[in-house]
A and B are shown apart, each in its own frame.
Chain A
Amino acid sequence: QVQLQESGPGLLKPSETLSLTCTVSGGSISNFYWSWVRQPAGKGPEWIGRIYSSGSTNYNTSLKSQITMSVDTSKNQFSLRLTSVTAADTAVYYCARGYSYGYYYMDVWGKGITVTVSS
């Protein structure tokens, strides 16, 4: 059974760079899309972007200038880098697996990591 686990700092100051890693266990990272989704308290989810196991990426256009995603297949991990964070980036950040064969949906999710941006 595939499981995902987010890791990274829970508290950042404005203008700092957020770096999160998602570790995939119980299965291979190959041949899937891997997404980051965030959710501010009391609001709906927002898709940040996705990376394929080959390294190809697609980003939310509203965040594109701030985002870099990468994948390390040898470690079964993928990562998110979000630059110049502000209070508006405070949210629970989830990683999720995307199934893309004939459909597109996210069928496996991590538990989420709370990220707070505050001075």
Chain B
Amino acid sequence: EIVLTQSPGTLSLSPGERATLSCRSSQSVSSSYLAWYQQKPGQAPRLLIYGASSRATGIPDRFSGSGSGTDFTLTISRLEPEDFAVYYCQQYGSSPPALTFGGGTKVEIK
């Protein structure tokens, strides 16, 4: 079973700063099957990035994803007030088909 480890657990930053979130996998993951989600309190997760680096429909270009193999990164170039939330990475493995989520990174206002 693939385990995704996200770091840091909490990131304390100010609006306008850059946020860099890490997602490391216990095994190599196909980039096509790595996604990032944003979740705010009381809401469902919202798809941000799929295929490791493609932005979902309507996602601002301050969000970007990168990485391959076992190391993936979500970057928010300049934090807006609405970006303070919890972020999860998720991978899909095909043998057998299964999805796993990372433990999440909370981006909080400093």
Asked if A and B are interacting partners, one says: yes
Cα A109 to Cα B96 with chains together (Å): 24
Report B's interface with A, CB cutoff 8 A.
1, 32-33, 35, 37, 43-47, 50-51, 54, 56, 88, 90, 92, 96-104
Cα A50 to Cα B47 with chains together (Å): 17
User: B90: which A residues are within 8 A, CB to CB?
Assistant: 45, 105-106
Q: Is the CB of A109 within 8 A of B46?
A: yes
Listed in ascending order, the chain A residues whose CB lies under 8 Å from chain B are 35, 37, 44-47, 50, 58, 60-61, 94, 96, 99, 102-107, 109-112
Closest-by-CB residue of B relative to A57 is B97
Residues from chain A with Cβ under 8 Å of B44 in the complex: 94, 96, 109-112
Q: Are B101 and A102 within 8 A (Cβ)?
A: no
Residue among A35, A99, A105 with the highest chain B CB neighbour number at 10 A: A105
